[in-house]
Structure 1
Amino acid sequence: MTDEIRTREDLVAVVNEIGFLPFFTCRIEGFSLEDNISYDAWYQGRWSGKIHWDAWDWKGQVLQNRELVYGKFFEKKAGFISLQLWPDFCNYRREGYDFDARFDDGLASYKDKGVVDYITGVGATLTKDIKDNLNYNKGGNKGFETVISRLQMETYVVPINYEYSKRKNGDEYGWGNCRYDIAEKYWGDKLCRSAYKRSPQESLNRILRHVLKTLPGLDEDELRALLKG
């Protein structure tokens, strides 16, 4: 890979070529945005004294532009997936199940169903609102991050934007409040389900072939482990 990812456009081009890319350093050395981004785009100081992180801003931008899918997809850590490979990711990770069927077969928890049902009912919603309405705040239910990470790993729920608090002068601050939606609601049934005609194993093989064709030097066993999650 290259260390010349300098802009959001560079990122989109690289992910579309490779198929997917973890955000942070992962089990495969050199295979992440962190490993291949220019220094200035990773951390860049401003005259105000605050740290501005261009790469962090790209997440919301690629989602709002519908250029790439982003979420916790790789061993419960964040990364980007091309729209070309997203259908096969859905098919592989869901193992032939829509969420309701997974729950009916006892493969999803009541907490998972609570989050899915809430987002389905109200539409795209912020992390804070989900926690408030499902009692995941202090003294209430525990394990929200585990639930929301699992639902992303299974491709049922996805981030669609990051919204920031603002100071009185209008400056944004903080890490951003994630807005989540059901994958089909944001990306469409056709994109999320168009690989359902294939077996999950066939979808995995298609993902592997695509990535290894572009980066033949990657360790296939490590790549399989990363994809399995």
Structure 2
Amino acid sequence: MENVNGTWIMYGVDWDDPECLRTVQDAINYINEVGFLPLFKNDIPGFSLEERTVPGYWWCGDPKVDPWEWREIIARSGEIAYGKFFEKKAGFISKEWLPYFANFRRDGYDFDALWDDEKASRKQKKIMDLFEAEDEIYSNEVKLRAGFGKGGEKGFEGVVTDLQAKTYLCVKDFRQRKNKKGEFYGWPIAVYAKPETIWGYDFVTSRYSETSEESGKAIEAHIKEIYPIASKSQIAKLLAGSGSLTKSRKTRAPKEWIIPANPKYYDIVHAFDNAEEIDWKQGAGIITGDTVFVYVGAPVSAVMYKCTVTETDIPYDYSDKNLTITALMKIRLEKRYPEDSFTFQILKDKYGINAIRGPRGIIDSLSDALK
């Protein structure tokens, strides 16, 4: 789509063109085949949904042939991530390639770690804090509850776009709003969610063991393979959007983290009965010398151990339907806690921790209490 002398022009193909995507399933299959795809035309010729569909069917309102309607169906399908991923504009990323983009755009930082390293803005945190307690939120509610709008914070669209570019948020669905009577009204609007909520933390972060640069090179190489005419500068422009997060994390000062452990998959309750040091799945952003407080999930639901990280980046390859591990770290036991000392309820009520899905930094008051 391009504005030429005040007129918007759509680019595309004829219905009988062999490259034409005629149904939403055609589009889903193609996105899964190529891995990722912008919604609209960009600098790389042919690399968009727009350029592989019939221009006259856009915004016709018929979900059978309207690509604008398809984006809603694709977003709610759970097969493909949808959001403003490319040059601050909308696009799709297949489930297979999502971990590459997450690692590349985040540079291996979960949002909590990004905030702890002072690389996230206060406005971003006000939005992301909402998703600690809820899995999905209407876009208008995110804006209101994060304090944007009249008399409040400015620049909501820019902030939420940047969070999508970094893959911390995506559009899970488009739905009509409800009035006080519970009746639907108006046009469907975006419903935001964290990718981890849709596809699971372990899957989304499964490329964290490699560097951001390695993931970026894999994405670039894939584009070159499927679109050989794309130049290096065109690819760089398309993939830009996360800002520079790169930092020498391996030389920073030691940090403290809470990491989750699920007793359904590993007997963490008795892990240190016969050893003071064990191997554990490496957490994003954690380096040798850091301190990790191990939170054991239900039925314990409490912090049980304080450990020091003695080694990281140990190669490991494991995957099943519940867990993916690409690297290990060694953790040494320093302290045990009674099960009633730091329960989930205490963490929530006293320290504002509403969920522990992955490694996260801790506030000073909790650090002092744990010591």
Tell me which interval the TM-score lies in, with the shorter structure as reference length: 0.7 to 0.9
Closer/same/farther in 2, CA of residues 172 and 54 from structure 1, 3 Å limit: farther
Q: TM-score, normalised by structure 2?
A: 0.55
Q: Deviations over 1:53-80 (max 9, x none)?
A: 8212222212222121110001110001
CA apart distance, 1:28 = 2.1
Kept in 2, the 8 Å contact 1:92–1:203? The answer is yes
Q: CA deviation at 1:45?
A: 6.8
Match of 2:22 in 1: 6
Q: Which has the higher strand share?
A: 2
Partner of 2:34: 18
Q: Could you say which residue in structure 2 is the equivalent of 1:55?
A: 67
Partner secondary structure for residue 82 of structure 2: strand
1:37 aligns to what? 53
The TM-score normalised by the length of structure 1 is 0.87
Say whether residues 1:146 and 2:158 are aligned partners. Answer: yes
In the TM superposition, residue 22 of structure 1 has moved relative to its aligned partner by: 0.5
Structure having the higher helix fraction is 1
Q: Which has the higher contact order (CA 8 A, sep 6+)?
A: 1
Q: Which residue of structure 2 lines up, in the alignment, with residue 49 of structure 1?
A: none
Q: Note the alpha carbon deviations across 1:154-198, whole angstroms, 9 max, x for none.
A: 1111110001359xxx99753x21111122111211221111111
C-alpha RMSD of matched pairs (Å): 2.5
Distance 2:19 2:40 in 1: 14
Which deviations, in whole Å up to 9, do the C-alpha atoms of 1:105-153 show, x marking residues without a partner?
Answer: 1110011011000122233110111122222232322111111001001
Question: Cα distance 1:43–1:159, how it changes in 2: closer, same or farther (>3 A)?
Answer: closer
Moved over 6 A (4+): none
Query: CA 1:107–1:53 in structure 2 vs 1: closer, same or farther (change >3 Å)?
Result: farther
Displacement of 1:221 after TM fit? Answer: 2.4
Alignment of 1:101-112 (within 5 A): 101-112=113-124
Q: Tell me the percent identity.
A: 37
- What 5-or-longer segments of structure 2 have no aligned partner? 1-12, 242-371
Hey, what does 2:237 align to over in structure 1? Answer: 225
What are the within-5 Å matches in structure 2 for residues 192-203 of structure 1?
192-203=204-215
SS of 1:164's equivalent in the other structure is: strand
Q: Is the 8 A contact 1:22 1:32 kept in 2?
A: yes
Structure 1 residues 204 and 120: CA distance shift in structure 2, 3 A:
same
Equivalent position of 1:136 in the other structure: 148
2:216 to 184, 192, 204: 204
Greater C-alpha radius of gyration: 2
